[in-house]
Amino acid sequence: MPETVLQLENVSKKIGKKEIIHNISFEIQKGEIFGLLGPNGAGKTTIIRSIVGLISKTNGKVSICGVNLDDDFKDAIQNVGAIIENPEFYMYMSGWKNLKQFAKMNRKNISDEQIKQIVEKVKMTHAIHNKVKTYSLGMRQRLGVAQALIHQPALLILDEPTNGLDPQGMAEFRMLIKELATNGTSVLISSHLLSEIQQITDRFAIIDKGHLTHIEKMSDLTEEKILKVTLEVSDGESARLILDTLDLEIVEQNGNLFVLNVTREVLPEISRALVRANVDIFELSKIHFSLEDRFLALTNGGEL
Confidence of residue 233 (pLDDT cuts 50, 70, 90): very high
Provide the CATH number for the domain formed by 225-288 in this structure.
3.30.70.260
Mean per-residue pLDDT of the chain: 87
Residue 302's pLDDT is 46
Domains 4-218 and 225-288 share a fold: no
Q: Is the pLDDT of residue 47 over 90?
A: yes
Single pTM value for the model: 0.77
The 3-state DSSP composition of the chain as helix, strand, coil percent (nearest 5) reads: 35, 30, 35
Q: Which of 49-53, 197-201, 271-275 has the lowest mean pLDDT?
A: 197-201
Helices and strands (DSSP H and E) totals, the chain: 10, 14
Can you tell me the distance from the alpha carbon of 213 to that of 44, in angstroms, rounded to the nearest whole number?
A: 13
Q: What is the mean pLDDT of residues 249-268?
A: 89
Q: What is the mean pLDDT of residues 37-45?
A: 84
Q: Is the pLDDT of residue 142 over 90?
A: no
Q: What is the mean pLDDT of residues 149-154?
A: 90
CB-CB contact of 176 with 145 (8 Å):
yes
Most confidently modeled range among 102-106, 171-175, 272-276: 272-276
Q: Which of 22-26, 73-77, 163-167 has the lowest mean pLDDT?
A: 163-167
pLDDT, one tens digit per residue, over 155-186 is: 999 987 776 677 777 888 888 889 999 999 99
Q: Is the pLDDT of residue 301 over 60?
A: no
Confidence of residue 2 (pLDDT cuts 50, 70, 90): low
pLDDT, one tens digit per residue, over 79-92 is: 999 887 677 899 99
Can you tell me the distance from the alpha carbon of 122 to that of 101, in angstroms, rounded to the nearest whole number?
A: 18
Can you tell me the distance from the alpha carbon of 226 to that of 223, in angstroms, rounded to the nearest whole number?
A: 9
**Residue-range domain boundaries for the chain:** 4-218, 225-288
What residue type is assigned to position 1 of the chain?
A: M
Residue 303's pLDDT is 44
Residue 69's pLDDT is 94
The burial of 200, by beta-carbon neighbours within 10 Å (0-12 exposed, 13-18 middle, 19 or more buried), is given as: buried
Q: What is the mean pLDDT of residues 111-132?
A: 92
- Other CB atoms within 10 A of residue 225 CB: 6
Task: Identify the CATH class of 4-218.
Answer: alpha beta
Confidence of residue 304 (pLDDT cuts 50, 70, 90): very low
